[in-house]
Structure 1
Amino acid sequence: MPGSSGVARRTVGDAPSVRANRHWWDSAADDYQAEHGGFLRDDGFVWCPEGLDEADARLLGEVRGKRVLEIGCGAGQCGRWLAGRGADVAAFDLSHRQLLHSRRIDEELGVRLPVVQADAGRIPFAAGSFDLACSAFGALPFVADARAVLAETRRVLRPGGRFVFSVSHPIRWAFPDDPGPRGLTADRSYFDRSPYVEQDEEGEPTYVEHHRTLGDWVGDIVASGLTLTSLIEPEWPDGHDRTWGGWSPLRGRLLPGTAIFSCVRGR
């Protein structure tokens, strides 16, 4: 990983997580888009490495005429797809380099997705601005205080608004991040919530990902004032042979890789 010389499992607070992940994604964005951009498509909405597509799943429902916020948009692929279906979309990401890729794709396609660089813990939009919010592996796995991000998302949603987000399935944390046979044997406790930290020679975090159990996610959703309406664990589809990091057909047939939470803001 860019800028890393070691791996640790230790507590890391919000500010160091934000700083590390901003720098990491700025460094990794080019390689990430080169490797995964074709699978994600320039104007596609893929929820997860299993390939669940919003065009088929319709987890957000009808988006035409709706005001939609994409949280942790990367290069804006999902937001661009939503805009193409008649939604009024705004999007943000922590990484400036990812947003430059969004601009590049806009220029190539002759479209314009409104994006801003921002931290998900301080969403730069007014209260009640959006009918829908979505996040496909954006922001939430990388923040120390997911409850604060969920509360911020609730704030910017209108009463009755929906938020759907995908993250790594928590059970994956008990297994090595290996797409092969080694990744089928648990080597740590599912209940060990120590973040995964890549760090430099001085011990400064260069990448941080935070683990929460399914129960933790449900608790954070409820405490933020949102109501959980569904939890989807996409199965590995037949004929899908793409490996993405620790996701693979071998593991996907036996273990869930992604959790997708659908929530609503009450009135």
Structure 2
Amino acid sequence: MHEHDDYPVPGRMERRAVDPRESVRAGRLWWDGAADAYQADHGDFLGDVDFVWCPEGLTEADIGLLGDLDALRERRVLEVGGGAGQCGRWLRARGVREVVSFDLSFRQLQHARRIDEDSGTRLPTVQADVQRLPFSDAAFDVVFSSFGAFPFVPSADDALAESARVLRPGGLLVFSVTHPVRWSFPDDPTEHGFTVHQSYFDRRAYVEEDDHGNAIYVEHHRTVGDWVRGIAGAGLVLRDLTEPEWPEGHDRVWGGWGPVRGRMIPGTAIFSAVKP
């Protein structure tokens, strides 16, 4: 469900297996092609210098999942799949000296540079794949992601292991994804989206293809248990799982998120874990 017509248009949609190369290629091509429309649709909601965790509108200023801001100012922070870097820029604007953001999409990073100039707050960025991070071991105190990268790679285990690798002992990983229970329901924010129409345990990827059968958008499904096992397998300890409730007075619809369903079933899961 998009407000603009200039997103890549699929020839068909299906659930199927996708290998890593096809998934990464689709992710890069789709986000490069969709970045302009995405920022036009959602830029005002996300804010140029704000930290929004999810379509429910929960912000880091509201909940403080990354910890005390005064302590955070002295730490090194990595934003995973940051898009135009709105969240990382919010941290920079609040005095966190060392923040780096990366994204697979070059066009999203171009939007980051545009916002740097418009806002006057500059955020260092890198083009990278979360499954192969170009950073040394134990380089960061905090790694976080607001709906970035983790849902779009075939191996969440590899992405989590890489995030854990670049964390220092005692470091914190926090990331938000579509709540796994949502995969059982249609991507419909109205009352028609309450009907379970596929198995929660169907782990095949959601794929949009062009007319030649090439994947142009891929999103991968994991159950809650898959995420927990991936976190544990990466050598991390799960500290919390936040399921934001839909707030009163918030009527913005974003894809399958909206007030009708949002008041009844969770749309977002935010996992918090530490590295011993």
Q: TM-score scaled to structure 2, two decimals? A: 0.95
Aligned-pair CA distance for 1:3: 4.3
Q: Distance in 2 between matches of 1:183 and 1:235?
A: 17
Report how many residues are paired.
266
**Superposition pairs for residues 189-200 of structure 1, below 5 Å?**
189-200=199-210
Counterpart check, 1:106 vs 2:116: yes
Identity %: 62
Counterpart check, 1:188 vs 2:198: yes
Aligned-pair CA distance for 1:111: 2.5
1:233 alignment partner, one of 243, 251, 256: 243
Give the aligned partner of residue 143 of structure 2: 133
2:81 alignment partner, one of 53, 59, 72: 72
Q: Distance in 2 between matches of 1:8 and 1:243?
A: 24
1:2 alignment partner, one of 8, 16, 34: 8
Aligned-pair CA distance for 1:129: 0.7
Q: Kindly provide the CA deviation profile for residues 104-149 of structure 1, in whole angstroms up to 9, marking residues without a partner as x.
A: 0001122211001000111111111101010000000000000101
Kindly report structure 1 stretches of 4+ aligned residues shifted beyond 4 Å: none
Counterpart check, 1:19 vs 2:21: no
SS for the counterpart of 1:98 is helix
SS for the counterpart of 2:118 is helix
Which consecutive unaligned segments of at least 5 residues does structure 1 have? none
Q: Distance in 1 between matches of 2:131 and 2:9?
A: 25
Counterpart check, 1:86 vs 2:92: no
**Superposition pairs for residues 22-41 of structure 1, below 5 Å?**
22-41=28-47
Give the aligned partner of residue 215 of structure 1: 225
Q: Kindly provide the CA deviation profile for residues 164-216 of structure 1, in whole angstroms up to 9, marking residues without a partner as x.
A: 00000001000000111211111111111111000112211110000000011
1:149 alignment partner, one of 150, 156, 159: 159
Q: Distance in 1 between matches of 2:44 and 2:173?
A: 26
How large is the Cα RMSD of the aligned pairs? 0.8
Aligned amino acid, residue 90 of structure 2: W
Q: Kindly provide the CA deviation profile for residues 29-67 of structure 1, in whole angstroms up to 9, marking residues without a partner as x.
A: 000000100000001000000000100100000221111
Confirm or deny: 8 A CA contact 2:176 2:270 kept in the other structure: yes
2:184 alignment partner, one of 174, 178, 189: 174
Q: Kindly provide the CA deviation profile for residues 51-103 of structure 1, in whole angstroms up to 9, marking residues without a partner as x.
A: 00100100000221111000000000000001112221011000000000000
Q: Distance in 2 between matches of 1:156 and 1:129?
A: 5
Aligned amino acid, residue 69 of structure 1: L
Q: Distance in 2 between matches of 1:36 and 1:24?
A: 16
Counterpart check, 1:95 vs 2:101: no
Confirm or deny: 8 A CA contact 2:133 2:162 kept in the other structure: yes
SS for the counterpart of 2:181 is helix
Q: Distance in 1 between matches of 2:8 and 2:32?
A: 10
Give the aligned partner of residue 215 of structure 2: 205
Q: TM-score scaled to structure 1, two decimals? A: 0.98
SS for the counterpart of 2:216 is strand
Give the aligned partner of residue 56 of structure 1: 62
Aligned amino acid, residue 84 of structure 1: A
Aligned amino acid, residue 185 of structure 1: T
Give the aligned partner of residue 127 of structure 2: 117
Give the aligned partner of residue 255 of structure 1: 265
Give the aligned partner of residue 51 of structure 2: 45
Q: Distance in 2 between matches of 1:217 and 1:152?
A: 15
